[in-house]
Each structure stands twice: as structure tokens, then as C-alpha cells.
A = this chain, B = another copy of it.
Amino acid sequence: MEEVRIAVDVMGGDEEPQVVLDGIDAALAADAALTVLAVGPEEIVAPFAESRPRVEALVAPDVIDMADDPIKAVMSKRKSSIVVACRAVKKGTAQGFFSAGATGAITAAATAYVTPFKFEEAGELHPLRPCLTSAVPNRAGGLTVFCDLGANPDVEPGDMLRFAQMGAAYARVVCGIAKPRVGLLSNGTEDTKGSHFTKECFALMRDVLDGFAGNCEGSDIVSGSYDVVVADGFAGNVALKATEGAAKFILSELKGALLGSLKGKIAALLIKNDLAAIKEKLSGDAKGGAILLGLRGVVLIGHGATSVEAVKNGTLATAEAVRAGLIESIVEAVGTIAR
């Protein structure tokens, strides 16, 4: 396997740094060609690196936490683990970055320091908008790539086209879907449905997007009828949170129903493992977390509710995306990128 160097944010997530360190150990055990740059305060990363040949310490004394204002924190905390790791990716010291820290801060730091590719439009160069993308399990037993999950609440049709192209590249390279069917999230599947904005996007995609499969609905995020569902960051975030809220609601209803009777309690014991498996499947970490597409490096954001398993999966998924050539495939998919 190709040697890969991944920066991991030791301070990311809601748990103690030890959980992240254990996750790094698990990832190293699973991938013999992986080197990890452990990014965080010296007293944590230095002793951790010392005893491990495939770990290097990257010292970052500051911490950006979930409560910080993302942009202010990134501007003022230049020695935070998030900023230091993003700079390492830009310099090439690391080929990818995994963090379970605050999505807003990681997006802001990655945009400022890893930097987006530029695309050409009407003879001028503009930076791509980084598109927050995830692969969610669907009812057909596969994965559906869903973007933008909230990085860009206001966009132009051209941005939506590029989100679709990047999402399709991710589906091909990371999810192994040869010819992804791309659906435009709308308020109905008919061609005539949509807002003024999505109707403009529809016309543009119909003309130029490979694999465009028309409008889709909120239920198609998990239906398996589309391989990529593309939305602006506002609608995408609303749909993602609605999905998560519904899942929480049903599982809590089910728990309440089961624990309300003796029969139910017996049933709960019998299906405990099945329920845990469904919860795991729905956690949205099918590919280790959400990825920011459009940047000059792989940046993966894990759920804040960290576990050793989640850090392991996120780190391995970051390495997998690097090895799969995701960045190169993005450049190719958005035909107008000027490297």
C-alpha cells in the first residue's frame, strides 16, 4: 500500500484527548503504510510520538472549542491544532487532515490555509466554494453522497453544478460507483418542480452535467434511487438535521415502547445488538465523517461525539481518500479548474 501521512487533531471532539490517541493507535494497527502527525499541545503529543515509530508530534498549544466563533477563532488562534494541521496539509507535510472538532472552525481554517482550487469563468479565476459532503447509507443497501451539508447557505447555480460534479467524483473514487446518478434536491421529482433558484440549477445541470437524473425529494437521501443528492447548504443542512431528528425520535419512541411492558423488555434484550447496529449505521459516519470538497487537500470532519472507533475510521478514511486520488479526480470533474 502507498505510504500516506495524515494529520490528526488530538484536541477534536467532546471526549478526552486519550480517546483520540487510542483511535490513532487503532488506525496505525490497521494500516501499516500510515504515518500520523499527532497535532496538539506538546505535553500530549510529544510523549505519544516518542514511543511510536509511525507517529510524529506537531505541536499546537491553542485549542478551538465548539463554543468559539469559528472565523474569529481561526483568525486569533493561529497556533490551534486546527490551524496548525491545515497549514501542514498546505505545505505538504501531511496529505490529509482528520478532526472531530467544530465543523465551522475547520471549514474556516481549511478555506484560509489549505485553500480551495480556483475555477475559470468568463476569463476570470474564482475560488471554489468548499462543499461539505457525506456518504449516507440508503435503503438499497448502498451509499448516497449528499452535499452541501451546510457550508454555503447562499450560492449561485454555477456553484451547485460544481457541487454536483465534486459529489459525483467522490461517489466514483471513494464509494466506487462507476456512473453516479445525480439528483437535484427539490420539492418533488417532476421536472417542473422547484423554486426559482433550483429551476435555474435544473436547466444548467440538464445541459452540462454527466449523470444528471433530474429532481429528487427529501426522502431520496436514503431511498437509494440516486447516488448523489445535491443541494445548497441551507436546504442540505435542513434535510440532514431533519433526517437525524426523525431517527432520534423513532429510536426513542421504540425504546419507550419496549421498556413499557414486560414483553417489550424481553424483546429489547433479544434485539439489543440489532438496534445498536442500526444506530451505528445511521450515525452518518459511513465514510468516517463529512469531507470538504474543493480544497487542495483532503480534510475530513468527524462527529463531535467521538469514540476510539470513530477516530480510527476517520483517520483510515482520510488516508483512503488520499490514496484513491480524490483531489485529482475533483480537479478532473470540475473541468474549469486552473491548477
Q: Residues of A with Cβ closer than 8 Å to B?
A: 138-139, 150, 153-154, 185-188, 193-196, 198, 217-223, 231-235, 237-254, 257-258, 260-261, 263-264, 266-268, 270-271, 274-275, 277-278, 281-282
A198-B235 Cα distance, complex, nearest whole Å: 12
Given known A235-B234, A264-B270, contact A218–B198 (CB-CB < 8 A): no
Q: Which of B138, B233, B264 interacts with A271 by CB under 8 Å? A: B264
Q: What residues of chain B lie closer than 8 Å to A219, measured between beta carbons?
A: 241-242, 244-245, 248
Q: Which of B245, B261, B270 interacts with A222 by CB under 8 Å? A: B245
* A–B Cβ pairs within 8 angstroms, 9 of them: A139-B249, A187-B234, A195-B234, A198-B234, A222-B249, A243-B243, A250-B278, A263-B270, A264-B274
Q: What residues of chain B lie closer than 8 Å to A257, measured between beta carbons?
A: 271, 274-275, 277-278
Given A153-B187, A218-B239, 19 extra CB contacts under 8 A: A150-B188, A154-B195, A187-B238, A194-B234, A198-B234, A218-B241, A218-B242, A222-B248, A223-B245, A235-B238, A243-B246, A250-B251, A254-B274, A257-B271, A257-B274, A257-B277, A260-B274, A263-B270, A264-B270
Cβ-closest 6 pairs across A and B: A219-B245, A218-B241, A218-B242, A257-B274, A187-B237, A246-B246
A232-B187 Cα distance, complex, nearest whole Å: 11
Q: What residues of chain B lie closer than 8 Å to A193, measured between beta carbons?
A: 153
A249-B225 Cα distance, complex, nearest whole Å: 13
Q: What residues of chain B lie closer than 8 Å to A260, measured between beta carbons?
A: 274
Q: How far is the CB of A280 from chain B (nearest CB, A)?
A: 11
A153-B220 Cα distance, complex, nearest whole Å: 19
B267 contacts A246, C-beta separation under 8 Å: no
A254-B275 Cα distance, complex, nearest whole Å: 7
A267-B154 Cα distance, complex, nearest whole Å: 47
Q: What residues of chain B lie closer than 8 Å to A268, measured between beta carbons?
A: 267
A331-B89 Cα distance, complex, nearest whole Å: 59
